[in-house]
């Protein structure tokens, strides 16, 4: 009898030690020095070959078209701030399609955050096993999400909807998404957040330092029986019971990671005029809806390091680099970049006559197709509308088909018909070049006076001295409104989120040329 009681007490103690009562978190920040590499590469979806569309990739340099086992651990450098994080994080490039002539120009990344959320749970949260491959979102779809404009990570609350765009504006009149939009001809607003929704918004994101942002949540329950490689089946979303997010039995509860990619869209403000119907941004796969936003992850974490961060760190938005105890320490060489594993025949710098991979633009009635049925990721045809079609037709007839990238980086000197063959330009020329942020709005130091929703909703606290702690995490606050489990986290998140633009300014992030 006594032995039984002792055993029970021991298990209760173990449970108590492992479980989490409230959300803790730390943000891994990539500060605007560009991607570690980029290109039509995706070792999860298209191993050993060119991917259908262009990605930007952060993390360890053991990345390539093939990543097997724990190969990322052998990276000799990473652009993550934590030395022992050699994971890769990637997402599709966003392009600006010029409404006047249809050409495509890469939107520079402003910066990227990866939130590591340690959610309230009865489970023990463990490290990602090295080599774990995850993909979230559907690159093929052009259809609106079944859940609508909001975000939903709880399988019991409806269809999972893990991707959104966030676009803070100084005014939401007119709204970023048409009222009552069903997604067939425009995006859908998040019912809890005027500044967020499913699909690209119809108006420029005009608040200082907060350009268009792709938001992508990953599931946090790994099934070891399915294994590291089977990215289609190896992850599940936790269910919520009494405020705890618990994994199905047999699964390992890993951190909930959430990507924010801030794209420097204000750079293109002068090139388009909002009309409440069209917007000029497309994903690298040709999706002009944004519904196919997606992201990939392969873990290259040293397990002890991440486990220590899970168990001991709750620095929130200040940044993971301020965690009190990080085995291996901080990354002292942030200058980690590699040439793209896929060398394109033509330049990738815009304006381009076609997207890399020659992906046709589709969705919202372009190509007569709002359903997405014609939106193959690797289609070879080019049925886009308007002048771009003519331009590309010329380039194609000039023989560029085999290159699959009808680039015209020498646009000043070449007519489209001359663009085609034998002009070999890799990514080496841009190695180490950070995207320009010089064209972002200047009025930064006084964020609270700009009248944004963010400022209006949230109290201001003095800026911390350290770090470019820039974040608009209020979308996560929104998530809390659809998922009661996050209610406690809400206040915590809010508390972290202030004065950040002032900090940003001070750190020299904006206005740099
Ligand atoms: C398209 O317009 C952009 C500027 O709006 C310009 O830089 C580019 O050269 C033009 N391309 C063609 C093919 O007309």
Q: What is the DSSP string of 257-272?
A: EEEEEEE-GGGGGGG-
The alpha-helical segments, DSSP class H, found in 109-264 are: none
Distance from the alpha carbon of residue 355 to the mean position of ligand 1, in angstroms: 15
**Residue of 97, 99, 102, 103 to mutate, ligand 1, most atoms within 8 A of C-beta:** 103
Which of 95, 100, 101 most suits a substitution to test ligand 1, by most atoms within 8 Å of the C-beta?
Answer: 101
Spatial contact of 181 and 191, defined as CB atoms under 8 Å apart:
no
Contact 305, 60 (CB under 8 A): no
Given a contact cutoff of 8 angstroms between Cβ atoms, the answer to whether 360 and 379 are in contact is yes
**Nearest atom of ligand 1 to the alpha carbon of 391:** 13
Backbone angles phi, psi at 122, to 5 degrees: -85, -10
d(CA 489, CA 47): 38
- Residue 379: which of 359, 396, 393, 365 has the closest Cα? 359
* 101 CA distance to ligand 1 middle (Å): 6
The residues lining ligand 1, judged by C-beta closer than 6 Å to any ligand atom, are 98, 100-101, 103, 271, 351, 391, 411, 416
Long-range pairs for 456-462: beta carbons < 8 A, 24 or more residues apart: 457/494, 458/494, 458/497, 458/498, 459/494, 459/498, 460/498, 460/499, 461/495, 461/498, 461/499, 462/499
| CA–CA separation, 438 and 510 (whole Å) | 7
What is the per-residue burial (b if ≥16 Cβ within 10 Å, else e) of 171-199?
ebeebbbbeebebeebbbbbebbbbbbbb
> In this predicted structure, what is the pLDDT of residue 491?
28
Residue nearest to atom 2 of ligand 1 (CA): 101
The atom number, within ligand 1, closest to the CA of 408 reads 13
Residues 246 and 120: beta-carbon distance below 8 Å = no
Nearest in space to 89 (alpha carbons), one of 260, 203, 288, 308: 260
The C-alpha atoms of residue 244 and residue 118 are separated, in whole angstroms, by: 11
| Tokens of residue 177, six digits | 């998404």
Distance in angstroms (rounded) separating the CA atoms of residues 145 and 126: 31
Nearest to 288 by CA among 307, 272, 309: 272
282: its two tokens? 């497309």
**Atom number in ligand 1 closest to CA 412:** 9
Give the whole-angstrom CA distance, residue 411 versus residue 409. Answer: 5
Which of 95, 97, 98 best tests ligand 1's pocket when mutated (most atoms within 8 Å of CB)? 98
Q: What pLDDT shows up at residue 367?
A: 61
Nearest CA to ligand 1 atom 1: 101
Neighbours of 414 (CB within 10 A): 15
- List the structure tokens of 291: 């519904």
Q: Length of the chain, please? A: 513
Instruction: Tell me the two tokens of residue 166.
Output: 């966030």
First-residue to last-residue Cα distance in the chain: 74
d(CA 74, CA 331): 15
pLDDT at 480: 24
| Contact present, 217 and 475 (Cβ < 8 Å) | no
| Cα angle 222-327-62, degrees, rounded to a multiple of 5 | 65
Cα Dmax for the chain = 89
Distance 409 CA to ligand 1 centre (A): 10
Distance CA 317, CA 413 (A): 47
Q: What is the number of H-type helices and E-type strands within the chain? A: 7, 20
3-state SS class at 477: helix
Looking at beta carbons, which pairs linking 473-476 to residues 24 or more positions away fall under 8 Å? 473/115, 473/317, 473/497, 474/193, 475/151, 475/164, 475/166, 475/190, 475/193, 475/195, 475/196, 475/215, 476/115, 476/258
In a 10 Å sphere around its CB, with 0-12 CB exposed, 13-18 middle and 19+ buried, how is residue 103 labelled? buried
Q: Whose CA is nearest to atom 4 of ligand 1?
A: 98
Q: Identify the three-state secondary structure at position 188.
A: strand
Protein residue closest via CA to atom 9 of ligand 1:
411
CA distance 161 to 207: 26
Q: Could you give the CA distance from residue 327 to residue 329 in angstroms, rounded to a whole number?
A: 5
Q: Identify which of 83, 69, 199 has the alpha carbon closest to the alpha carbon of residue 130.
A: 69
State residue 348's pLDDT score. 83
Sign of CA dihedral 204, 208, 214, 216: negative
List the chain pLDDT tens, one digit each, 513 residues.
444 444 444 444 444 457 899 999 999 999 989 999 999 999 999 999 999 999 999 999 999 999 999 999 999 999 999 999 999 999 999 999 999 999 999 999 999 999 999 999 999 999 999 999 999 999 999 999 999 999 999 999 999 999 999 999 999 999 999 999 999 999 999 999 999 999 999 999 999 889 999 999 999 999 999 999 999 999 999 999 999 999 999 999 999 999 999 999 999 999 999 999 999 999 999 999 999 999 999 999 999 999 999 999 999 999 999 999 999 999 998 999 999 999 988 778 879 999 999 999 999 987 644 333 333 343 222 222 222 322 222 222 222 332 333 232 222 222 222 222 222 222 222 222 222 333 222 222 222 222 222 222 222 222 222 233 222 222 222 222 222 222 222 323 333 333 333 333 333 333 332
Closest Cα to residue 332, out of 164, 81, 87?
81
Cα 112 to Cα 55: distance, rounded to the nearest angstrom: 14
Closest C-alpha residue for ligand 1 atom 14 = 101
DSSP per-residue string spanning 294-345: EEEEE--B-HHHHHHHHHH---BTT-GGG-S--TT-B-S--------SS--S
CA atoms of 44 and 206, how far apart (whole Å): 35
Q: Which of 269, 270, 411 maximizes ligand 1 atoms within 8 Å of its Cβ, making it the mutation to test the pocket? A: 411
Angle at the Cα of 424 from the Cα atoms of 420 and 430, rounded to 5 degrees: 120
């Amino acid at each position: 009898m006594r032995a039984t009681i002792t055993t029970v007490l021991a298990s209760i103690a173990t449970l108590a030690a492992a479980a989490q009562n409230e959300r803790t978190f730390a943000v891994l920040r990539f500060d605007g020095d560009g991607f570690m590499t980029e290109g039509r590469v995706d070792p999860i979806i298209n191993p050993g070959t060119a991917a259908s569309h262009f990605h930007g990739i952060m993390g360890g340099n053991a990345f390539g078209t093939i990543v097997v086992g724990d190969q990322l651990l052998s990276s000799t450098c990473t652009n993550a701030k934590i030395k022992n994080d050699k994971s890769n994080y990637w997402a599709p490039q966003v392009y600006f399609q010029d409404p006047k002539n249809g050409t495509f120009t890469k939107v520079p990344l402003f910066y990227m955050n990866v939130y590591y959320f340690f959610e309230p749970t009865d489970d023990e949260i463990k490290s990602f096993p090295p080599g774990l491959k995850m993909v979230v979102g559907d690159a093929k779809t052009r259809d609106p999400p079944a859940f609508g404009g909001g975000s939903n990570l709880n399988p019991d609350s409806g269809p999972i909807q893990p991707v959104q765009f966030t676009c803070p504006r100084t005014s939401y009149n007119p709204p970023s998404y048409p009222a009552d939009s069903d997604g067939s001809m425009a995006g859908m607003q998040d019912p809890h957040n005027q500044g967020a929704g499913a699909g690209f918004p119809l108006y420029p994101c005009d608040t200082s330092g907060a350009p268009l942002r792709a938001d992508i949540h990953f599931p946090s329950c790994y099934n070891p029986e399915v294994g590291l490689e089977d990215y289609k089946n190896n992850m599940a979303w936790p269910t919520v019971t009494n405020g705890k997010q618990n994994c199905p039995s047999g699964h390992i509860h890993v951190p909930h990671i959430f990507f924010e990619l801030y794209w420097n869209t204000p750079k293109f403000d002068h090139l388009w005029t909002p009309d409440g119907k069209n917007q000029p941004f497309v994903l690298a796969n040709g999706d002009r809806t944004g519904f196919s936003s997606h992201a990939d992850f392969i873990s290259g974490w040293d397990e002890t390091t991440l486990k220590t961060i899970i168990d001991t760190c709750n620095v929130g938005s200040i940044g993971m680099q301020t965690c009190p105890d990080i085995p291996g320490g901080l990354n002292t060489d942030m200058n980690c970049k590699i040439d793209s594993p896929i060398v394109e025949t033509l330049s990738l710098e815009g304006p381009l006559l076609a997207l890399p991979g020659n992906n046709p633009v589709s969705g919202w009635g372009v190509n007569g197709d709002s359903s997405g049925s014609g939106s193959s990721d690797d289609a070879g045809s080019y049925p886009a509308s308007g002048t771009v079609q003519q331009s590309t037709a010329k380039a194609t007839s000039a023989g560029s088909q085999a290159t699959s990238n009808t680039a015209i980086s020498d646009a000043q000197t070449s007519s489209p018909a001359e663009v085609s063959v034998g002009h070999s330009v890799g990514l080496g020329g841009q190695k180490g070049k950070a995207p320009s942020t010089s064209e972002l709005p200047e009025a930064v130091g006084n964020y609270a006076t700009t009248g944004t929703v963010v400022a209006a909703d949230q109290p201001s606290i003095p800026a911390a001295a350290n770090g470019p702690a820039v974040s608009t995490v209020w979308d996560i606050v929104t998530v809390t409104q659809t998922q009661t489990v996050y209610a406690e986290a809400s206040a915590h998140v809010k508390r972290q989120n202030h004065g950040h633009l002032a900090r940003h300014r001070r750190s020299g992030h904006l206005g740099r040329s």
